[in-house]
């Protein structure tokens, strides 16, 4: 096997630049003995190789050089040309075979489904995520489908919104790394996010959980109303619990592959999506993860058959901005504002940064009141 495709067991946090932040985090968790569904990463070098063997490097660079971020439609059109080049590229036989082999070894008759997830980094930069910007595919089944979704993940490096994000952050397009992850699906009855410190109040002594029925996709996309728990970090005592009316959830599509948004059946709408015991279990594992990494973490988790799986971890940013010790412990929900999965409107490009920041903050506050947001995340 080459080093272009790596199982989680062989990935460390220091591999962020070639495996992306998500895969590096999952590898690190796996090696630390945290229960992470098995999987592998098609490293960033794999796409570099595809681009090389298809002679696309200069072609992509030439198109990228013409992007004018004052012209949204133009960016959409030109990045579309790059996506088309990647979509039509030939995957070298050995790489194609390696992905197929890893996939067939990963799945079993009982666990046929995988998620194909994007994991990103930027060379020569500490940036290792573009929250909510890239694509993730759930309940993927079959070698050909996996290959197709890996290819779609590669292409998502060149969505207009990803190009705008690099532009806004002054990152060179050629430094963008995408390393798709193929991971066993957790067919979760409930899932959500956990923060080892409250990112809104910056209270380091309070851990928070947001949870909904089905896949955590509904929670991270901001589409659902979520149950909210605040836990005392020292004692794990539940300080606050807010069970809301849950109306939307994401589960497997009735066709038997892919995901679908569904109504929460009325008899489950007001029922807590996790028990107190499960909340404490999340808190316990979350604290362990924080201790391992040595910083406050934002964790994605899911329960299947009463077993807790960890799906992602990353550093909570911005906690340093306000001293927490004196901050009053507010009691709001906290899922951070994920970028809407569409390119920014033309107006929000350069010069409007401050306004965009302000509106993101406003949105975050809106979410804290557990009001259903109108995130326009693309259905995939």
Q: Which residues bind Mg ion (CB under 5 A)?
A: 312
- For ligand ATP, the closer of residues 31 and 377 by Cβ is 377
250 binds, among ligand ATP, Mg ion, none (CB under 5 to 8 A by kind): none
Task: Quote the least distance from Cβ 76 to ligand ATP, whole Å.
Answer: 21
- Give the Å distances, CA to CA, from 150 to 19, 47, 57, 115, 242: 14, 10, 19, 10, 38
- For ligand ATP, the closer of residues 129 and 203 by Cβ is 129
* Interface mask toward ligand ATP for 72-91; x: CB under 6 A: --------------------
- For ligand ATP, the closer of residues 78 and 246 by Cβ is 246
Binding of ligand ATP by 290 (CB under 6 A)? no
* Interface mask toward ligand ATP for 14-53; x: CB under 6 A: --------x--------------x----------------
Binding of ligand ATP by 334 (CB under 6 A)? no
The span from the CA of 162 to the CA of 151, in Å, is 16
64-72, 91-99, 128-136, 268-276 -> range binding ligand ATP (CB under 6 A): 128-136
Among 89, 177, 285, 302, binds ligand ATP (CB under 6 A): 302
Task: Quote the least distance from Cβ 281 to ligand ATP, whole Å.
Answer: 17
Task: Quote the least distance from Cβ 209 to ligand ATP, whole Å.
Answer: 13
Task: Quote the least distance from Cβ 336 to Mg ion, whole Å.
Answer: 11
Count of other CB atoms within 10 angstroms of residue 1: 12
* Burial class of residue 21 in the structure, from the number of CB atoms within 10 Å of its CB (0-12 exposed, 13-18 middle, 19+ buried): buried
Binding of ligand ATP by 210 (CB under 6 A)? no
Q: Is the dihedral of CA 280, 261, 129, 150 positive or negative?
A: positive
Task: Quote the least distance from Cβ 28 to ligand ATP, whole Å.
Answer: 15
- For ligand ATP, the closer of residues 80 and 131 by Cβ is 131
Count of other CB atoms within 10 angstroms of residue 375: 18
- The count of residues interacting with ligand ATP (CB under 6 A) is 23
Backbone φ, ψ for residue 46 (5° rounding): -65, -45
Binding site residues, ligand ATP, CB under 6 A? 22, 37, 115, 117-118, 129, 131-132, 134, 136, 183, 185-186, 188, 191, 215-217, 220, 300, 302, 311-312
């Amino acid at each position: 096997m080459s080093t272009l495709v790596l199982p989680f067991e062989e990935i460390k946090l220091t591999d962020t630049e070639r495996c992306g932040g998500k895969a590096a985090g999952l590898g690190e968790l796996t090696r630390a003995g945290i229960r992470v569904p098995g999987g592998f990463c098609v490293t960033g070098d794999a796409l570099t190789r595809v681009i090389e063997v298809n002679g696309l490097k200069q072609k992509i660079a030439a198109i990228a050089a013409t992007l004018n971020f004052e012209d949204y439609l133009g960016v959409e059109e030109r990045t579309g040309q790059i996506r088309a080049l990647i979509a039509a590229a030939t995957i070298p036989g050995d790489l194609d075979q390696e992905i197929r082999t890893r996939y067939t070894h990963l799945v079993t008759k009982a666990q046929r489904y995988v998620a194909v997830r994007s994991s990103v980094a930027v060379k020569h930069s500490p940036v290792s995520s573009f929250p909510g910007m890239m694509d993730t595919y759930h309940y993927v089944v079959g070698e050909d489908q996996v290959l197709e979704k890996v290819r779609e993940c590669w292409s998502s490096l060149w969505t207009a919104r990803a190009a705008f994000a690099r532009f806004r952050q002054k990152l060179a397009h050629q430094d963008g790394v995408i390393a798709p992850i193929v991971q066993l699906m957790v067919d979760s009855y409930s899932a959500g996010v956990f923060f080892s410190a409250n990112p809104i109040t910056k209270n380091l002594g309070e851990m928070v959980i947001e949870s909904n029925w089905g896949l955590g996709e509904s929670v991270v996309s901001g589409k659902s109303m979520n149950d909210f728990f605040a836990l005392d970090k020292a004692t794990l005592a539940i300080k606050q619990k807010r069970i809301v009316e849950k109306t939307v959830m994401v589960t497997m599509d009735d066709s038997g592959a892919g995901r679908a948004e569904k109504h929460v059946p009325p008899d489950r709408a007001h029922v807590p999506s996790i028990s107190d015991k499960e909340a404490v279990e999340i808190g316990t594992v979350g604290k362990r993860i924080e201790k391992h990494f040595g910083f406050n973490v934002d964790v994605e988790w899911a329960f299947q058959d009463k077993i807790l799986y960890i799906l992602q971890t990353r550093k909570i940013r911005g906690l340093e901005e306000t001293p927490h010790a004196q901050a009053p412990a507010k009691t709001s929900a906290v899922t951070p504002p994920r970028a809407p999965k569409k390119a920014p409107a033309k107006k929000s490009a350069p010069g409007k940064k401050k306004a965009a920041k302000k509106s993101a903050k406003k949105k975050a506050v809106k979410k804290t009141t557990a009001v259903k947001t109108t995130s326009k995340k693309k259905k995939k």
